[in-house]
Chain A
Amino acid sequence: AQSVTQPDIHITVSEGASLELRCNYSYGATPYLFWYVQSPGQGLQLLLKYFSGDTLVQGIKGFEAEFKRSQSSFNLRKPSVHWSDAAEYFCAVGAGTASKLTFGTGTRLQVTL
């Protein structure tokens, strides 16, 4: 069965600084990989998706993620963080039937001014 690990529970960065959120997955083949963002009191919003092709994928809100097969990683990056990026971020892997996803436990991002 597939699994997702987000090793950082909480990260604090200064506004304008760069950001990298880590995600490692376990799956036998190349899975579908996703990043979602959840603002307080809201549902989850899809940031970006990877399945095949270019290993660097661009998403919404200026985010990008890089798939590294050798490291089983799919880390999320942003060159310059804005205060509005403060939220919880979830990595997910899609595999098996019925488009099911397995989520990581999330990383909460705090942005200081």
Chain B
Amino acid sequence: DAGITQSPRHKVTETGTPVTLRCHQTENHRYMYWYRQDPGHGLRLIHYSYGVKDTDKGEVSDGYSVSRSKTEDFLLTLESATSSQTSVYFCAISPWEADRGRLADSYEQYFGPGTRLTVT
């Protein structure tokens, strides 16, 4: 259990309203990610974070913003939701691994349970 929770787990909202999804981890990992999952597309990276206040865009970042003010929380915001943003959203973390006496990127990612968002 990687200690990742997402809230809310389900949300229905109307087009044009702002929505914020929360990802919380208990392990203080440096890297956190937001993905969306859609049929036929697998998982696509929206944004990721490599530390407090350090974030960067993924491949499908348009219409989304993120914030990370604490190590344990990574927020995804849809400023003005559209029907094309109806999806299942997953948060993930990636731990370090020990490599010859130093910490290195492991590329292992552990996922939260997901948030199903419907924009009507």
Contact = CB atoms under 8 A, between A and B. Distances in A.
Contact of B106 (A43, A44, A45, A99): A99
A94 B94 CA distance: 11
Contacts, number: 58
A100 B45 contact: yes
Nearest to A105: B42
B71 to A, nearest CB: 15
Query: Which label, helix, strand, loop or mixed, suits the secondary structure of the B interface?
Result: strand
Contact of A98 (B43, B44, B48, B114): B48
Contact of A43 (B56, B105, B114): B114
B106 to A, nearest CB: 6
Contacts of A74: none
A46 interface: yes
Interface residues of A, number: 23
B110 A100 contact: no
A98 B31 contact: yes
B111 A43 contact: yes
Interface string A38-56: 0000111110010100000
Interface of A: 32, 34, 36, 42-46, 49, 51, 90, 94-95, 97-106
Interface of B: 31, 33, 40-45, 48, 50, 56, 58, 90, 92, 94, 105-114
